[in-house]
Amino acid sequence: MIELRFPHAISPILRYVWLVLAVGWSSPSSAVARYWETYVGEATDLDSGEWRYRERHWVQYAPSLSQRLVIYECADGRAFARKWLDYRRSSLAPDFVLQDVGQGTVEGAIVTTQRASSFRLEADGSARVHVLPT
């Protein structure tokens, strides 16, 4: 809810202009088409409560959830993994790529209307690809 308070000295015309501006800024049609949201989560051991790692999320909405980047960090702040998710094809089964810096691997999955594909690139250069019909 928007509450506007005007000093008594403001003319009715200026009050109208302020009201139009306030309503225009708050209406969905005037919202920015793309925006990013960030948040941080911390993972702990369920039994001991000991801190395990931190996740930094960057989420893009354009206008709904469309992409996400997650950086997984050690206690010293170094990234040990990165994950990129693309929700533009499906909000329930996003395409993704996960890079595990510690193991030197990259894996991911892409789903289209024709097939679902997953892949894994090993540190030694070998690769595995699985293709499934949908």
Is 98's pLDDT higher than 70?
A: yes
Taking every pair of C-alpha atoms in the chain, what is the biggest distance, in angstroms?
76
Q: Which residue has the higher pLDDT, 92 or 106?
A: 106
Among 24-38, 40-54, 84-98, the range scoring the smallest mean pLDDT is: 24-38
Q: Which residue has the higher pLDDT, 66 or 4?
A: 66
- How far apart are alpha carbons 37 and 8 in whole angstroms? 39
Is 95's pLDDT higher than 50?
A: yes
76 touches 90 (CB < 8 A): no
- How far apart are alpha carbons 50 and 29 in whole angstroms? 46
Place 18 in a pLDDT band, splitting at 50, 70 and 90: very low
What tens digit of pLDDT does each residue of 38-88 get? 999 999 999 999 999 999 999 998 877 799 999 999 989 999 999 999 998
Q: Which residue has the higher pLDDT, 14 or 126?
A: 126
Q: How would you list the strands of the sheet with 105-111, edge to edge?
A: 35-44, 51-61, 65-73, 79-86, 95-100, 105-111, 115-121, 127-133
- How far apart are alpha carbons 90 and 107 in whole angstroms? 19
The torsion angles phi and psi of 87, rounded to 5 degrees, stand at -95, 5
Is 89's pLDDT higher than 90?
A: no
Place 33 in a pLDDT band, splitting at 50, 70 and 90: low
Percent of the chain scoring above 90 in pLDDT: 53
Place 4 in a pLDDT band, splitting at 50, 70 and 90: very low
